[in-house]
């Protein structure tokens, strides 16, 4: 299975920015739905942002719209999440995930079958 490796997490103060990256070990991005998900302690994993390889469209959770931007570089096998105006409630482990494209890219955790190990984001008030 293709490996996904996240990087870029860290600790920031509220209002700050971080840029997460996800590197794939093989050139799969052009044929995969790619997404960022997060899981806070004691909470279920939730979708943050999704990128569709066919249409180029993106979708976001309401809680991050206008603050986060997902982008992909198929040539570099890299997925990125730019996070601005971070809030304490954004604190979580962030995961990169992939699934084969099948006409649409749902923001549903269970539909993704390839996951990275995660990178921690901590936002202090």
**Model confidence pLDDT, tens digit, residues 44-74:** 999 999 999 999 999 999 999 999 999 999 8
User: For residue 1, what pLDDT band results from cuts at 50, 70 and 90?
Assistant: confident
Q: Is residue 116 over pLDDT 90?
A: yes
Q: What is the mean pLDDT of the chain?
A: 96
User: What confidence score (pLDDT) does residue 102 get?
Assistant: 84
How far is it, in rounded angstroms, from Cα 111 to Cα 76?
Answer: 25
């Amino acid at each position: 299975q293709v490996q996904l490796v996240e990087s870029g997490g860290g600790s920031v103060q509220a209002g700050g920015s971080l840029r997460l990256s996800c590197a794939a070990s093989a050139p799969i991005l052009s044929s995969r739905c790619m997404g960022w998900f997060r899981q806070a302690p004691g909470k279920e994993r939730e979708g943050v942002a999704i990128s569709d390889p066919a249409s180029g469209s993106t979708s976001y959770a309401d809680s991050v719209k206008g603050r986060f931007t997902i982008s992909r570089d198929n040539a570099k096998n890299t997925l990125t999440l730019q996070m601005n105006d971070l809030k304490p409630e954004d604190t979580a482990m962030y995961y990169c995930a992939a699934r084969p494209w099948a006409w649409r890219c749902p923001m549903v955790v269970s539909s993704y079958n390839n996951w990275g190990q995660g990178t921690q984001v901590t936002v202090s008030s």
